[in-house]
Amino acid sequence: MKKTLYPSESRGKAEHGWLKSRFSFSFAGYYDPGRVHFGLLRVLNDDIIAAGTGFGMHPHDNMEIVSIVLKGDLLHGDNTGNESSLKAGEVQIMSAGTGIVHSEHASDAGEVHLLQIWVFPKERNIKPRYDQKVFDEKDKDGKFQTVVSPDEADHALWINQDAWFSIGNFNEAKEVNYTLHKSGNGIFAFVIAGGMDIAGESLGNRDAIGIWDADTLQMNIQARAEVLLIEVPMN
């Protein structure tokens, strides 16, 4: 097993008044040559967008983009005709493929907290696609629920990559084992709230760890913790 720690306080940051961001990997004006990506995971941005503000129309191509709303109401629009609202508990995915232009704004009702995550695609230049889904909080209670998967049988949002995203809410302390879906993949574990012990390390709120060369992982998760696991190919 190999591992790399990503302490919360070591992340890059941007403060723009209307936007507060923390970057797990090099992004925009933040660059760290040791933190460009973890395997095929390229971006994990922890954003707070002020009410009534947001990102205007901007382009992406050949990237799998996952947005996980933690608080508030995120308004989405794109040049393929999609207009939607995502609330806490909802997950969105875009396969940018040959190119898509979209906007993201917080509603006037209040600020939005979200995680925006980019993964390099398995197949390039596919037709752009968009999807979103509400996941029942009960299905994450005390266990990990798969919310993004390349396997449609998982009833998750489909991704153009051999990657799996899972979220768990733990109201009681619990030991949890995770078995990787594909040999050669790695796990990026991100503590949304609370804490846990994993791979001999203790993680707190917004800490993360990247682990590879392992087939299974054991976690001791604290009570009142929420954890995101991102399983991705390492090359």
Per-residue pLDDT, averaged over 30-49, amounts to: 97
Q: Could you report the per-residue pLDDT of 162-204, keeping only the tens digit for each?
A: 999 999 999 999 999 999 999 999 999 999 999 999 999 999 9
pLDDT at 148: 98
pLDDT at 61: 97
pLDDT at 43: 98
| Token pair 């209307």 in the structure block, residue | 18
pLDDT at 63: 98
pLDDT at 89: 87
The mean pLDDT of the chain is: 96
pLDDT band at 153 (very low <50, low <70, confident <90, very high): confident
pLDDT at 183: 96
Distance CA 150, CA 232 (A): 11
Per-residue pLDDT, averaged over 40-67, amounts to: 97
Cβ neighbours of residue 127 closer than 8 Å, sequence gap 6 or more: 97, 98
Q: Could you report the per-residue pLDDT of 90-138, keeping only the tens digit for each?
A: 999 999 999 999 999 999 999 999 999 999 999 999 999 999 999 988 9
pLDDT band at 152 (very low <50, low <70, confident <90, very high): confident
pLDDT at 162: 98
Distance CA 44, CA 117 (A): 4
For the chain, percent of residues with pLDDT exceeding 90: 96
